[in-house]
Amino acid sequence: MSLNEQLQRLIDAESAKANTHAVILRVQSGDRQIDFKGSAGAATPDARFPIASISKMFTATLIMQLADEGRIDLNQTVQGILTDVDLSGLHVVKGVDYSADLTIRQLLHQTSGLADYYEGDLAADLKQGRDRSYTLEDVLQMTRALPPQAAPDRGRSHYSDTNYQILGAVIEAVTGQTFDQAMQRRICEPLGLKDTAVMTGTDMGLPVYHKDHILQIPHILASMGPDGGVISTLDDMLIFLRAFFQGKLFRPENDAQMRQWNRLFFPLQYGYGLMRIKLPRWMTLFRATPELIGHSGSSGSFAFYAPERDTYIIGTFNQTDAPRRPVGFMLRVFAHTAASLKGRTPLSSQSVH
């Protein structure tokens, strides 16, 4: 059986599981010896889909480009750029207000300790399909109403969508463009990404589910913008990933800086708009698994690069009830690709829980 047939069987099996309505997958090695694009369930492999928090990779790219151009410094304060935005009281920890001192680097690296506005009422509204629009001012109000996660720079990253909403505002203030306009001019047009944009209108592409309930949330997605509102396709995302990891979007020397990994939550580490997954051997029957660098999203979306395998993997389950599901799935995909290249039986017993 060919590798493409094995991968199609794998996504067919995933699609048959409970609360799974569609799976799309793209896998390609650097030399294109491996090249698969497929779908299962109610989807086509060319469908547009919400990439959710993978959007943060686009935001990080724009920030690094502006830093390369000397238009921002990663160590400058956000308040110094967003002079018309009231950040006071946004991040108060044990009576100390850190709001005015928050830096671009802290937001990018998720080391600000800011509360995650998404984890308030918005997450419940999204999963119930209660759609609504919101602004940056609304985001700041939602954040103020939540307890902070930590004081800034405490040796680890604390995931917060608020960080990337504010970075989106920084991009808009510096460029004089909307986030989508900046993304189109600086990323999509140079790379020829014709199906990638911030959500507009009501067409979400592939429908997103929470269990068996379709979520009609175009206004929420449009409001997410720089932290989770981008819609794309497998092919566009493959082009973007290749450009990102081949140093074509910002200065290659920034790559090492962006991979300053902090502990996030198991099994993830966080860099600058990047997640890293590397499972310990005790979780995989003491078999080595590939290092994966990229990002995932709460809709079951994933876009990662495996440096040791020189292989890219992109896809989505478009299902919000199991956001960590892609980890085990990606490792099963890589078990098949490794077996194909080495002519041995896939590590079917390898599992992640």
Based on the domain organization, do 264 and 132 belong to the same domain?
no
Q: Find the domain containing 87 and state its range.
A: 55-198
If pLDDT is split at 50, 70 and 90, which confidence band does 338 have?
confident
Please give the pLDDT value at position 323: 79
Closest CA to 316 of 13, 24, 18: 24
Structural domain contains residue 68: yes
Q: Which two tokens stand for residue 333?
A: 């995909």
Based on the domain organization, do 181 and 218 belong to the same domain?
no
Q: Which two tokens stand for residue 124?
A: 């419940």
Reply yes or no on whether the pLDDT at 195 is more than 70.
yes
Based on the domain organization, do 97 and 206 belong to the same domain?
no
**Could you say which of 176, 198, 220 is where a domain stops?**
198
Q: Considering only 45-49, 86-90, 271-275, 338-342, which range has the smallest mean pLDDT?
A: 338-342
**Could you say which of 164, 181, 198 is where a domain stops?**
198
Structural domain contains residue 351: no
Structural domain contains residue 350: no
Radius of gyration of the chain (CA): 20
If pLDDT is split at 50, 70 and 90, which confidence band does 348 have?
very low
What are the CA-CA distances from residue 256 to residues 99, 164, 242, 247, 252 (Å)? 28, 21, 17, 11, 8
Q: Which two tokens stand for residue 189?
A: 């047009």
In this prediction the pTM is 0.94
Based on the domain organization, do 191 and 213 belong to the same domain?
no
Q: Which two tokens stand for residue 323?
A: 């956001």
Across 279-306, average pLDDT: 84
Helix (H) or strand (E) holding 325: helix 325-342
Reply yes or no on whether the pLDDT at 14 is more than 80.
yes
Based on the domain organization, do 290 and 167 belong to the same domain?
no
Based on the domain organization, do 21 and 81 belong to the same domain?
no
Phi-psi region of 65 (alpha: psi -120 to 50; beta: other; left: phi over 0): alpha
Residue whose pair of structure tokens reads 């808009």 in the numeric block? 172
Helices (H) and strands (E) in the chain, counts: 12, 15
Based on the domain organization, do 59 and 37 belong to the same domain?
no
**Could you say which of 198, 233, 264 is where a domain stops?**
198
Q: Which two tokens stand for residue 271?
A: 């860099």
- The residues facing 27 across adjacent strands are 36, 313
Q: What is d(CA 236, CA 239) in angstroms, rounded to the nearest whole number?
A: 5
Q: Which two tokens stand for residue 306?
A: 């495996």
Based on the domain organization, do 43 and 154 belong to the same domain?
no
Reply yes or no on whether the pLDDT at 284 is more than 70.
no
Which tens digits make up the pLDDT trace of 220-235?
Answer: 999 999 999 999 999 9
Q: Which residue has the higher pLDDT, 77 or 287?
A: 77
Based on the domain organization, do 130 and 14 belong to the same domain?
no
Q: Which two tokens stand for residue 132?
A: 């609504």
Structural domain contains residue 348: no
Q: Which two tokens stand for residue 27?
A: 């896998």
Which tens digits make up the pLDDT trace of 234-245?
Answer: 999 999 999 999
Across 11-39, average pLDDT: 96
Structural domain contains residue 283: yes
Q: What is d(CA 62, CA 185) in angstroms, rounded to the nearest whole number?
A: 10
Q: Which two tokens stand for residue 123?
A: 């997450």
Based on the domain organization, do 163 and 242 belong to the same domain?
no
Which tens digits make up the pLDDT trace of 123-166?
Answer: 999 999 999 999 999 999 999 999 999 999 998 999 999 999 99
Based on the domain organization, do 232 and 306 belong to the same domain?
yes
Mean pLDDT estimate for the chain = 92
DSSP 3-state of 65: helix
Based on the domain organization, do 113 and 180 belong to the same domain?
yes
Reply yes or no on whether the pLDDT at 278 is more than 80.
yes
Structural domain contains residue 82: yes
Q: Which residue has the higher pLDDT, 7 or 202?
A: 7
Reply yes or no on whether the pLDDT at 273 is more than 90.
yes
Residue whose pair of structure tokens reads 């509204």 in the numeric block? 125
Structural domain contains residue 347: no
Structural domain contains residue 219: yes
279 contact partners, CB below 8 Å, separation of at least 6: 267, 289, 331, 352
Q: Which two tokens stand for residue 334?
A: 């890589």
Q: Considering only 42-46, 245-249, 319-323, 338-342, which range has the smallest mean pLDDT?
A: 338-342
Across 190-215, average pLDDT: 94
Please give the pLDDT value at position 276: 97
Please give the pLDDT value at position 349: 32
Residue 216 is given by DSSP the state -
Closest CA to 152 of 105, 198, 193: 105
- The residues facing 25 across adjacent strands are 38, 315
- Domain count of the chain? 2
**Which CATH number characterizes residue 160's domain?**
3.40.710.10
